[in-house]
């Protein structure tokens, strides 16, 4: 059984063991030595070549969208959506926005999600941790002060950071049963 399958089974176990009222922690995982790790490194390098802002900023959202544990060598074993992102996690009330796991690859923060539609409640400690880890991927905070034409202050943000929402970006990562992979542009 591959590490990928074990990780997926662990995710399923987490889902089945917790009711709506219980809070779970967002844990760090290690992807080193996996096909997923190799693919993420390639995605990071290609994205850095296309987007200079990504060289020093941002993080990656990794979402499992398809899984077939019995895939033969030339069949699709899993599909992931990889998206580079540059926005904060400031609303701790929206649990559905938080990942199940996180890791680092090539110093980039990777937030790992699953498309399983089971609502989870994460611990406040975990949500604050993810919020802080994401904030570390941004450039230095700068004050932003904006006045309208009449001289009225309309924005006075002492902790402004540049954020970018990548709505339709990213790629689909397709992993085959023989652990080969390819990227497909998302439509």
Q: With H, G, I as helix, E, B as strand and everything else as coil, classify residue 18.
A: coil
Confidence class for position 102, pLDDT limits 50, 70, 90: very high
Q: What is the DSSP letter of 150?
A: T
Mean pLDDT of 151-178: 84
pLDDT category at 3 given cuts 50, 70, 90 is low
- Stated pTM of the model: 0.78
């Amino acid at each position: 059984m591959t590490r990928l399958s074990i990780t997926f089974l662990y995710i399923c176990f987490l889902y089945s063991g917790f009711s709506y009222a219980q809070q779970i922690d967002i844990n760090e995982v290690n992807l080193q030595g996996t096909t997923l790790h190799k693919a993420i490194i390639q995605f990071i390098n290609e994205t850095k070549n296309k987007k200079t802002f990504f060289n020093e900023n941002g993080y990656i959202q990794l979402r499992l969208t398809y899984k077939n544990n019995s895939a033969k060598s030339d069949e699709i074993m899993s599909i992931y959506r990889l998206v580079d992102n540059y926005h904060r996690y400031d609303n701790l009330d929206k649990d559905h926005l938080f990942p199940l796991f996180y890791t680092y690859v090539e110093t980039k923060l990777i937030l790992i999600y699953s498309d399983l539609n089971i609502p989870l409640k994460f611990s406040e400690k975990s949500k604050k941790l993810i919020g802080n880890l994401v904030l570390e991927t941004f450039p230095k905070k700068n004050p932003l002060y904006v006045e309208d034409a009449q001289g009225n202050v309309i924005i006075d943000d002492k902790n402004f950071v540049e954020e970018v929402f990548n709505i339709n970006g990213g790629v689909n990562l397709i992993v085959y049963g023989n652990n080969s992979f390819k990227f497909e542009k998302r439509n």
